[in-house]
Amino acid sequence: MPSSPSASPVLHDLTYVHDDNPIKSEPHRGSDFGGYPSLKQRNYSFDIKESMTVHCGFVKGSKPGRQTGFDFDESDLTELQQFHDIIVASAIFGNYDVIQQPRNISEEAKKNIPFYMFIDEETEAYLRNKSILDSGKRVGLWRIVVVHNVPYSDARRNGKVPKLLLHRIFPNVRYSIWIDGKLRLVVDPYQILEKFLWRQNATFAISRHYRRFDVFVEAEANKAAGKYDNSSIDEQVDFYKMEGLTTYSEAKLPITSDVPEGCVLIKEHLPITNLFTCLWFNEVDRFTSRDQLSFAIVRDKITEKVDWNMNMFLDCERRNFVTQVYHRDLSEAFAAVNRHPPALPNILGRTPGKRVTGRRRDTRSGSRRRRKDATGNRETNLL
């Protein structure tokens, strides 16, 4: 681990807007939690200077997590203020995922690196009802932090708060690894930081999308999959077009992609990286919660002003250190199917007891093939 922090280009002092009475003055979305930054304030936030004050969530209250929306118990607030070289963090809101225990974690990491899992009250109630969570606030390696007064009705949007604003929740941390709640960490955190930050002389790392690298293609894929309402996606993309966002081409090299696979963020907490995730969060708060759509515009606006680059590594490398599981609803659906498999259809089209003509071997072989196809179709439909 480096003994001293990396340099933060241009920006050295970053502070955050505080406003106990935020007022929405423009038609775009936004929230009390985010403070409704105006377009003028948004443009100012991309003008990188040595000292800056920007919107970055938590605009109310005396400190993040105390009467800000996205609130923590006082005992948790005290712990979150402590110094750590490295933390690992994740979140589950709306009881959407199943807590996955990390594997292959070294004894040194278990001793020195805390693992924090943020959950809302709905998820807490489920865990207590299932006797998974007790008064010790731990589930395996994970230290559970319950969030009260979540700022959004959409559980996935609430998850963007710790994902992008860990530096506000943990003001005294040097490095963080964020993994989405659907993932299981299977490699030691020290090895991840060594490979993707320290060896690369990078301060922020994220994997590229495994298939798409153009924002406009990603937007159409989101619409086709029903990830968000189409009009909101179109509004966001049209806004970025007016700001100069273009389709990805070789002209953007050495930038290799405009679309991340944003389920893992590896970050050194510095003014410039904190600014990046602040402004990325502001786009998520203003437009859709699909953070893949806003990633490139924020990155490009910052790198136009300062000499700062991130490590966008191949998604196959990400899959080497995290594994993905199904969301809770699909996991439970598969479990139900395995316990009580539905009766297979009469795929041979014959009545019981009636003799089937033809070679016996061919009949059995065809039956096996069709039985396999029927099972495969059943699982595909569940997905």
Q: What is the mean pLDDT of residues 163-170?
A: 98
How far is residue 14's CA from residue 8's CA, in Å, rounded to a whole number?
11
Q: What is the mean pLDDT of residues 84-90?
A: 98
Q: What is the mean pLDDT of residues 34-61?
A: 97
Highest averaged pLDDT of the listed ranges 14-28, 286-300, 366-380: 286-300
8 Å CB contact between 284 and 336: no
User: Does the structure show a pLDDT above 60 at 110?
Assistant: yes
Amino acid (one-letter) located at 358: G
Residues 6+ apart with CB under 8 A from 325: 97, 98, 100, 182, 183, 184, 331
How far is residue 19's CA from residue 37's CA, in Å, rounded to a whole number?
11
- What's the alpha-carbon Rg for the chain, to the nearest Å? 24
Task: Give the residue ranges of DSSP H helices in the chain.
Answer: 39-45, 74-80, 107-112, 121-129, 155-164, 166-169, 189-193, 215-224, 230-242, 271-286, 291-303, 315-318, 328-339, 360-382
> How does DSSP classify residue 355?
P
- pLDDT for residue 346: 37
Summarize pLDDT for 318-373 with one digit per residue, the tens.
999 999 875 565 555 555 566 544 443 333 333 334 443 444 444 444 444 433 33
Helices 360-382 & 328-339, crossing angle to 10 degrees? 150
Q: What percent of the chain has pLDDT over 70?
A: 85
Summarize pLDDT for 48-82 with one digit per residue, the tens.
999 999 999 999 999 999 999 999 999 999 999 99
Q: What percent of the chain has pLDDT over 90?
A: 81
Amino acid (one-letter) located at 192: I
Say what the pTM is.
0.85
Q: How confident is the model at residue 25 (pLDDT cuts 50, 70, 90)?
A: confident
- pLDDT for residue 22: 94
- pLDDT for residue 356: 39
Summarize pLDDT for 241-291 with one digit per residue, the tens.
999 999 999 999 999 999 999 999 999 999 999 999 999 999 999 999 999
Residue with tokens 């948790």: 76
Q: What is the mean pLDDT of residues 126-138?
A: 91
How far is residue 53's CA from residue 145's CA, in Å, rounded to a whole number?
28
How far is residue 189's CA from residue 84's CA, in Å, rounded to a whole number?
13
Residue with tokens 């590896």: 266
Topology of domain 63-324, CATH: Spore Coat Polysaccharide Biosynthesis Protein SpsA; Chain A (3.90.550)
The two three-digit tokens of residue 370, written as one number: 């069709």
| Average confidence score pLDDT of the chain | 88
DSSP three-state, residue 357:
coil
- pLDDT for residue 154: 93
How far is residue 338's CA from residue 234's CA, in Å, rounded to a whole number?
41
Amino acid (one-letter) located at 18: H
